[in-house]
Amino acid sequence: MSGDERYDAVIVGAGVAGALIAKRLTLAGFRVLVLEAGPATAASYEGYSNHLERFYEASGKGPESAWPPAANAPQPDTADLRQNNGYFVQNGPDLYGSSYTRLQGGSTLHWLGVSLRMLPDDFKLRSRYGVGRDWPLSYDDIEPFYRKAEEEIGVSADVADQKYHGLTFADGYDYPMQRVPLSYSDRKLAAAVDGLQVALDEAPVALKVRSYPAARNSTPRGSYRPLGAVDMREDGKAVERFFGQRCAGNTSCTPICPIQAKYNAGKTLAQADRNKLQVFAQAVASKIDIDTVTGEVQSVTYQRYQGISRSVYRAKARVYVLAAHAVENAKLMLASGLTGPKEMVGKTLMDHPALYAWGLAPETIGAFRGPLSTAGIEELRAGAFRAKHAAFRFDIGNDGWRATTGAPDTAVADAVAKNLFGRKLRDQLSSTLSRQVRFSLAIEQLPEPGNCVSIDPRYLDPLGNPRPVISYKIGEYTLAGMAAATKVYRQIFQRAGIEDFSDKSGSGWFPSVQYGEVTYRYHGMGHFSGTHAMGGDSSSSVVDSYQRSWNHRNLYLAGSGSFPTMGTSNPTLTLSALAIRTAERLISELTA
Amino acid sequence: MRPMRERMDLFLGLSEVLTGFGRFQLLGTAMAGDYLRTLDVALPAGVLDELLAAYEQLPEEAAREAAVAAQILGEPKLGPVARNLILLWYCGTWTALPDNWRAAYGVSLLDITRVISSESYQAGLQWEAVGAHPAGSRQQGFGAWSLAPEGSSL
C-alpha cells in the first residue's frame, strides 16, 4: 500500500451526486478527491464521440449499448435478464429489471432526463396514508434545493404546467429554461383525451397530457445560459464546445444524446475548480476503514487498474462521501462490515416497476421524432387510493415501439418475412410505423425489508470485490397499482381510438408477475433507491436528513439510496437536491 | 464476372424493385458500393451473379411483380438472399442466412449478423419510410418534432 495524501473530502463515485458535491466543495476552496470505479472514456469530446459510434454500430440498441462495461468495474445490463446471468446475482422471486452505468459521468450518460419534483404528499406517505414511511424532510424543506438543482442540471419547464397535486413554487420563480416543445403526437393525443374522466375508487379526475420538466436544453429564461457539450482534456482543462445548447431532436436521449443537450454529470464535473479537484478514474473503492473506537472513517481503500496492473491505495480525508449508486453504496458498506442500525444497509431496495402499453393510432402521429418523450399523464400520482394501492404516472413516448418490440427494425423484418417488397413494403411501413404509440406506466413501490442488496463471498468480480446479490419481490400494493394503471391506459386508448397491441406482439422476454388471473410483463426504470434510507433517528434509518451516517459521523451516503420512499418521480432531481443540501452542510462543517 | 459498372447497374435495378425506393434515393445513401461488396463477401461465389441474372430476366411492367415473387423471393436459393438485401437497405444490417440455406448452397465466413457500419445504420431506408430520421443522427433542430408529419390532419 502507498499514498497518504490528505484531502478535505474523498467522494466515491463521479456520477451526478458526487459531481454536484465535488463542484460545490472545490468552489468553496476545499480539496476533493473523487474515486471513480469505471473509466473516464466519456469525459473528452473525442471519447464521447467514440461512444456514439459504438451505439451506431451496436446490433442491439438498448440503454447500455453505447456504454460497455469495464471488466474490473462490471455493471448490470437489462439484456442479462433474458438469461439471468449478468453482474447481479438475482435470488428472486422476481427479477430486478434495472441497470446502471459505472463510468465517469455515471448513469446520467444514458438517463432520459425526466426531472419531476416529488409531491408534498410523497414525503409523508405513512402519516397521510398509513403505508411506507415518512421522510425526515418536508416538501417545504427541500423546495429551495429543488430550485438549485434545476439550475445546476438545467431543467426546462413552465411553472404554469407544474402546479398540481399541491406542488408549490417560490414566488416569481420559473424554471431556468422554457418547456421543451410538445411533440406533434402529444398534441394529437391531448386533443383526443384531455378532460377524460377516470375514477379509481373515489371522485373521478380529468386527465391531461402535460409537458414534464426535462434536463434537456431549451430556450433560456433571463440570464440563464444553457451548457452544451463539454470536452475535458487530458491536461485537466475543460473546454466548452459550442453546440448542444438546444435539444435538436435526435430521438436518442437513451442511450446517448449525441450533442449533450441533455444533462450528464460530466458537465458539473467540468465546472468544479480543477486546482482543488483530483479525479481518479479506474479507481475502485473496496473498503471503508473504520476506527473501531470512535466509529469514524479513517480511510478508504481503493484499487487502481490499468491494463494488467493492479495497485492498492488508501485515501484519507476529513470527511467521506459515498456517491457510488444505491446498490454500490450498500455493497461497499457491507463489504466493509458496516451494516448500519438494525442492519438496515442494503434493505428496502425499491424501483418503479413499469409496464409498457402500446398500440396503433388511427392516423399518423409522426412517431420516431423528437426527445424519447416530452409529456406525461400525472393525475394518478396522488389520491386517497394510495392507502390501498400504488400511485403511478404515464410517460408518453415519441419513439414508437422501439423499446417494446424493437421497431422499426423488427417491423421491417416481419414484413419482409411475409415477402412484402417494393412499393407495397415501403407503403405498409410508412402507414404503420408512423402511427405507433407507446406509454410507460411507472408504478410506485413501497420499502419492504425483504427487498435487498446483500453480498456473498461466493460471488466476486475480477478484482475480488463482491457482486450485488439481489432479493426482490413486487408486493401486493404495487401489483394492485399495475391493475389500476392498466385500466386507465385502456380507457385512454379507447377514447383516442388507439388499437391496443400490448398483448399481441413482442417483448415476450420481459420478466413477469402474476396478480390474480393476470400476468403483467414489467421492466425496471433504473430507479434504484432505499438502500441506506434517511430518517429522523438512528433507530429507524441509516442516515439523517443530510445523508450523514448515524453510526459513522464523518461519513455521508449520497444518492437515491437515501430515499425512505419513492413517490412517482424519477429520482435524479430529488437526489440532486439532496446532494446540494449535503454539500452546503459539508461546507459549513468543514469551515467551522 | 461482368464488368463492375454493369453489375452496379443491375444491382441498383434489383434494389429499386425490392425496396420501393428509386435509384436517385438509393444512390443518395452513398451505401450502394458497400452493399454490393457486402453481398460479394457474405455469399458463396456466384450467388450474387445468379440473383442479378434472375433480375435481368424479369418481364416488363405488368407481369413483373408476380415474377419477382415467383422467380426471386419464392426461389429457394435466391429468396433468402433477396430478403436479406431488403433488410440491408432498410436497416443497414446483414442477417446470417438460415442454416438450411447454408447447408444447401455453401457457407461464407462473413455471413454473420451484424450492422455493416456506423454509416449503414444512419443510412437505413426504414427511417425514410417512417418519415423520421435515424435515432441519434441527422437531427432536424430544436422543436422540429412539433411539426406536423406528412399525411397528418392536425
Q: What is the pLDDT of residues A436-475, one digit of tens each?
A: 999 999 999 999 999 999 999 999 999 999 999 999 999 9
Q: Closest chain A residue to B80 measured between Cα atoms?
A: A417
* Cell numbers standing for residue A435: 402511427
Q: What's the pLDDT tens digit per position in A137-191?
A: 999 999 999 999 999 999 999 999 999 999 999 999 999 999 999 999 999 999 9
Kindly report the number of other CB atoms within 10 A of residue A256's CB atom: 27
Is cis: bond before A462, omega within 30 of 0? no
Q: Is the predicted pLDDT of residue B109 greater than 70, yes or no?
A: yes
- Strands A297-306 and A230-232 come out as unpaired
Q: Is residue A362 a contact partner of residue A498, using CB atoms and an 8 Å limit?
A: yes
Q: Is B137 contained in some domain? A: no
The partner residue sitting opposite B126, judged by closest CB among A57, A58, A412, is A412
Q: Is the predicted pLDDT of residue B116 greater than 60, yes or no?
A: yes
Helix (H, G, I), strand (E, B) or coil at B136: coil
* Cell numbers standing for residue A50: 467514440
* Overall average pLDDT of the A479-506 stretch: 93
Q: Residues A369, A526, A352, CA angle at the centre, nearest 5°? A: 100
Distance from the Cα of B46 to chain A's closest Cα (Å) equals: 24
B94 at the A interface (CB within 8 A)? no
Distance from the Cα of A112 to chain B's closest Cα (Å) equals: 14
Q: Is residue A124 a contact partner of residue A138, using CB atoms and an 8 Å limit?
A: yes
CA–CA dist A25, A159 (Å, integer): 30
Q: What is the 3-state secondary structure (H, E, C) of A122-138?
A: HHEHHHHHCCCCECCCC
Q: Closest chain B residue to A189 measured between Cα atoms?
A: B154
Q: Closest chain A residue to B64 measured between Cα atoms?
A: A422
Q: Is B142 contained in some domain? A: no
In one letter, which amino acid is B106? G
Residue of B90, B113, B130, B147 to mutate, testing the A interface (most A Cβ within 10 Å of its Cβ): B130
Contacts of A433 in chain B (CB under 8 A): 126, 129-130
Residues B121, A57: C-beta atoms closer than 8 Å: yes
Q: Is residue A475 a contact partner of residue A88, using CB atoms and an 8 Å limit?
A: no
Residues B87, A368: C-beta atoms closer than 8 Å: no
Residues B137, A181: C-beta atoms closer than 8 Å: no
Residues B145, A259: C-beta atoms closer than 8 Å: no
Q: At what angle do helices A409-417 and B78-91 cross, to 10 degrees?
A: 160
- Strands A238-240 and A230-232 come out as antiparallel
* Overall average pLDDT of the A94-104 stretch: 96
* Structure confidence at residue A424 (pLDDT): 97
* Overall average pLDDT of the A348-364 stretch: 97
Q: Is the predicted pLDDT of residue A275 greater than 90, yes or no?
A: yes
CA–CA dist A429, A224 (Å, integer): 43
Distance from the Cα of A265 to chain B's closest Cα (Å) equals: 20
Q: Is B151 contained in some domain? A: no
Site of grid cell 461546507:
A587
* Structure confidence at residue B152 (pLDDT): 78
CA–CA dist A41, A62 (Å, integer): 19
Average pLDDT over chain A, rounded to whole?
Answer: 95
Residues B144, A370: C-beta atoms closer than 8 Å: yes
Is residue B19 classed exposed, middle or buried when 0-12, 13-18 and 19+ CB atoms within 10 A define those classes?
A: buried
Side-chain-side CA neighbours of residue B62 (13 Å): 0
* Cell numbers standing for residue A213: 420538466
* Structure confidence at residue A401 (pLDDT): 96
Contacts of B131 in chain A (CB under 8 A): 364, 366, 369, 430, 434
Residues A57, B146: C-beta atoms closer than 8 Å: no
Closest CA to B82 of A421, A40, A580, A259: A421
* Structure confidence at residue A507 (pLDDT): 55
Distance from the Cα of B115 to chain A's closest Cα (Å) equals: 6
* Overall average pLDDT of the A541-568 stretch: 98
Distance from the Cα of A102 to chain B's closest Cα (Å) equals: 22
CA-based end-to-end distance of chain B: 54
- pLDDT: which is higher, B154 or A151: A151
Percent of chain A's residues with pLDDT above 90: 92
Q: Is B138 contained in some domain? A: no
CB under 8 Å, gap of 24 or more: what pairs does B102-111 form? B104/B76, B104/B77, B105/B44, B105/B47, B105/B77, B106/B44, B106/B47, B107/B44, B108/B41, B108/B42, B108/B43, B108/B44, B110/B41, B110/B42, B111/B42, B111/B43
Domain that holds residue B109: 4-125
CA–CA dist B113, A422 (Å, integer): 23
Number of domains forming the structure of chain B? 1
* Overall average pLDDT of the A203-229 stretch: 97
Q: Is the predicted pLDDT of residue A4 greater than 60, yes or no?
A: no
* Overall average pLDDT of the A79-94 stretch: 89
Helix (H, G, I), strand (E, B) or coil at A139: helix
> In residues, how long is chain A?
592
Contacts of B151 in chain A (CB under 8 A): 363-364, 434
- pLDDT: which is higher, B151 or A217: A217
In one letter, which amino acid is A539? S
Q: Is residue B88 a contact partner of residue B51, using CB atoms and an 8 Å limit?
A: no
Residues B145, A252: C-beta atoms closer than 8 Å: no
Q: Is the predicted pLDDT of residue A338 greater than 90, yes or no?
A: yes
Residues B86, A249: C-beta atoms closer than 8 Å: no
Contacts of B19 in chain A (CB under 8 A): 421-422, 425-426
Percent of chain B's residues with pLDDT above 90: 91
Compute and round to an integer the Cα radius of gyration of chain A. 23
pTM of this structure: 0.96
B98 at the A interface (CB within 8 A)? no
Q: Is the predicted pLDDT of residue A63 greater than 50, yes or no?
A: yes
Residues B142, A408: C-beta atoms closer than 8 Å: no
Is cis: bond before A408, omega within 30 of 0? yes
Q: Is the predicted pLDDT of residue A361 greater than 70, yes or no?
A: yes
Out of A200-209, A255-264, A291-300, least confident range: A200-209
Beta strands in A258-413 (DSSP E): 277-280, 283-290, 297-306, 309-322, 354-360, 373-377, 392-397
Residue of A259, A364, A365, A373 to mutate, testing the B interface (most B Cβ within 10 Å of its Cβ): A364
Band (pLDDT 50/70/90 cuts) for residue A2 is very low
Distance from the Cα of A227 to chain B's closest Cα (Å) equals: 15
Residues A184, B149: C-beta atoms closer than 8 Å: yes
Closest CA to A359 of A496, A483, A479: A496
Q: Is B149 contained in some domain? A: no
Element (H or E) spanning A496, and its range?
helix A476-496
CB pairs under 8 A between A and B: 177
Using alpha carbons, list the distances in angstroms from residue A37 to A79, A235, A280, A327, B124: 22, 20, 8, 14, 37
Site of grid cell 403526437:
A185
Contacts of A246 in chain B (CB under 8 A): 141-142
B76 at the A interface (CB within 8 A)? no
Closest CA to A441 of A354, A546, A566, A555: A354
Q: Residues B121, B127, B131, CA angle at the centre, nearest 5°? A: 160
CA–CA dist A287, A118 (Å, integer): 33
* Overall average pLDDT of the B95-106 stretch: 97
Distance from the Cα of A224 to chain B's closest Cα (Å) equals: 18
Q: Is B98 contained in some domain? A: yes
Q: Is the predicted pLDDT of residue A506 greater than 60, yes or no?
A: no
* Structure confidence at residue A137 (pLDDT): 98
Q: Is B133 contained in some domain? A: no
Residues B130, A246: C-beta atoms closer than 8 Å: no
Closest CA to B131 of A66, A511, A427, A507: A427
Q: Is the predicted pLDDT of residue A1 greater than 50, yes or no?
A: no
Residue of A52, A56, A247, A373 to mutate, testing the B interface (most B Cβ within 10 Å of its Cβ): A56
Is cis: bond before A93, omega within 30 of 0? yes
Contacts of B90 in chain A (CB under 8 A): 412, 416, 429
Q: Is the predicted pLDDT of residue A3 greater than 70, yes or no?
A: no
Beta strands in B55-131 (DSSP E): 93-94, 114-115
Element (H or E) spanning B14, and its range?
helix B4-19
Residues A181, B153: C-beta atoms closer than 8 Å: no
Out of A2-11, A25-34, A203-212, B34-43, least confident range: A2-11
Q: How far is CA B100 from the centre of its chain?
A: 22
Distance from the Cα of B17 to chain A's closest Cα (Å) equals: 5
Q: What is the ipTM of this complex?
A: 0.97
CA–CA dist A468, A456 (Å, integer): 8
Q: Is B85 contained in some domain? A: yes
Distance from the Cα of B97 to chain A's closest Cα (Å) equals: 13
* Structure confidence at residue B151 (pLDDT): 79
